[in-house]
Every structure is written in structure tokens, then in C-alpha cells.
Amino acid sequence: MSGTAGPVGAGATPGPAGATAGPTGGIRAQVKRGLARRAGGRPGEGATVLIYHRIGGGSPDELDVATTDFTAQADLLAELPPGRVVSLDEAADRIEAGRRTPSTVLTFDDGFADVYDNAWPLLRERGLPFTVYLTSGRVGGEMSWEGSTAKVSGAPGLGWEQLGEMTASGLCTVANHTRSHARPELLTTAELDGCNDDVEQHLGVRPRHYAYTWGVPVPHMEPALRARFRTAATGRVGRNTPGVDPVRLCRVPVRRTDPIDFFRAKLYGRLIPERAYARIVATAKAVGARA
């Protein structure tokens, strides 16, 4: 999605007015800790698809999760029962088969190099599968566009060699996020096919999954998406159960100010805290508070 400043505000909107501190303090973290107490302990049915962007990039962006926090999150993921953390294809298999098995899917949007530097060693060590929704035209270059998570400071994109190493492990699925990170209103078949062609040329596989930029669905493009991909992921918050439209998958964002209990609630697919937080943000913005 990147930056996620668009219409899917619940998916990645910054927190209540004036909050600037990280996950150990500040208004956002305090609010989230309180909301997490409402989550309950039973895992929700279906697939919870988590959205990450950057890991340890050093920026103040809400979508840049500190490496220490991601390490704690990866430890929680590794402690889940076998078969809980699955690839995107396995989650799709379960949904298509009508199974409501609790599942967690890890996804990283855009293709920042810090995912390789800081997340990949932790994922590899714990054997956790994940998907990279790749903006192929930025591979080996600068990750900068309007609304990018790198808007405060530049950041390099993944290289093809790094992507090849991760996919060769069997843990990483490379998916389509357009060639240029085109805005939703500028999405074309050329953007889709260009990214698919790039990935196939360099990695020998053609992407089977897509994520809408900024998480915004593009209804007039759905026939083209259905013809090319098994799934397309939005920024709409929710779990995915049998009967979900495969080109309208829901996801759940992970932010840098998420305390570990708030993250645990997402991990178990208990989204009451996440939705309550989104309502608080929307209310703050409605009354003119600075988000």
C-alpha cells in the first residue's frame, strides 16, 4: 500500500491528536493498550492477513516498525500452534475449501530493502512464510513516490538477488504491486503486466497475487485482476472466511506504535481493538484534531 494516506484510513491512519511517541509510550500506545484488554483470547475464524511495510528503516513513519518490536512479534508468531502461520496460497486453499481454520498470513508491501536486512533473518530463523507485494520498477532503486513510507527519508528497494535468495528458501512469495506504484485511478493492465513480466524475467515465476496500491479497490479493473491473479488484497480491515471475494481480500495493518498486546489481538484475528482504534482516529479527525 505504502504511506496509506488514502481512503482506507482504518488501514494505516496515524493515531490521535499530537501523538508522536513510539510503542512504549505516548497517547497512541496508551490508547491501544487499553483497547487490547477487550480482545478476548479465542482465535478468530478464517485468515488474518497482516500488512507490514518497513522494518527498522529508522523513519518516524507509523508503517516503519522498529526491529526490536518486529523481533518480539516474530517470537509470538513462532509460538503459535503449527499450521497457524501460513503462506498466502495455503490461506487461499483453506478459504476455497470452505475451511474456517484460524490462519495468519504475513505480507510486506512495496519491497523495501530493510525487509531483507532486518525482517528476513528473523523470518528465516523461525521458518515463517511471507509475501512481498513488489513494486517492480523500484527494485534496486530509491523507494520514493507520493505518499511513500520513505517520504521523510529516502530508502533503497530490494534487489533481485535478495528477492531470489528469499524465494529460493520456499518461505517467500513475490506478488504484484504494480510496476510504478501507480495510484488507484491510474491502474492499467500495462502496470499489472509490467510487474508480472519483471518478476518472471528475474525470478522465473509469475505472480499469482496482487495488492491494490493504497489498499484502494479499483472496481473497473476487477475483470483484469481475476484473469491474472488468484487473489487481490485491499486495505479494508477484517478477516477472510469462506465466501470472501478473492479480489477483495481484507488485511490488518501493523504499526510502529502497536504495543505487543495490541499486536497479539491482531494475531489472533480479534479485531475489536483495531476497529475501536480506527473509530477514535476518525472522530479525532472529524473534530479537527491533528492526526
Q: How far apart are CA 88 and CA 208, in angstroms?
A: 10
**Residue appearing with cell numbers 476455497:** 96
pLDDT score for 10:
33
For 41-85, write each residue's pLDDT tens digit: 677 899 999 999 999 999 989 999 999 999 999 999 999 999 999
pLDDT band at residue 20 under the 50/70/90 scheme: very low
Nearest to 156 by CA among 143, 172, 146, 144: 143
Burial class of residue 26 (count of CB atoms within 10 Å of its CB; 0-12, 13-18, 19+): middle
Write the DSSP symbol of residue 224: H
For 79-117, write each residue's pLDDT tens digit: 999 999 999 999 999 999 999 999 999 999 999 999 999
For 190-211, write each residue's pLDDT tens digit: 999 999 999 999 999 999 999 9
Nearest to 47 by CA among 199, 266, 220, 261: 266
Q: How far apart are CA 239 and CA 252, in angstroms?
A: 8
Highest averaged pLDDT of the listed ranges 10-14, 15-19, 230-234:
230-234
Q: How far apart are CA 156 and CA 65, in angstroms?
A: 16
pLDDT score for 21:
39
Q: How far apart are CA 239 and CA 219, in angstroms?
A: 20
Please, where are the H alpha helices in the chain?
9-12, 26-36, 67-79, 88-96, 113-114, 120-126, 160-168, 189-203, 222-228, 260-267, 272-286
For 241-260, write each residue's pLDDT tens digit: 999 999 999 999 999 999 99
pLDDT band at residue 227 under the 50/70/90 scheme: very high
pLDDT above 60: residue 17 = no
Q: Whole-model pTM above 0.85?
A: yes
CA atoms within 13 A on the CB side of 44: 20
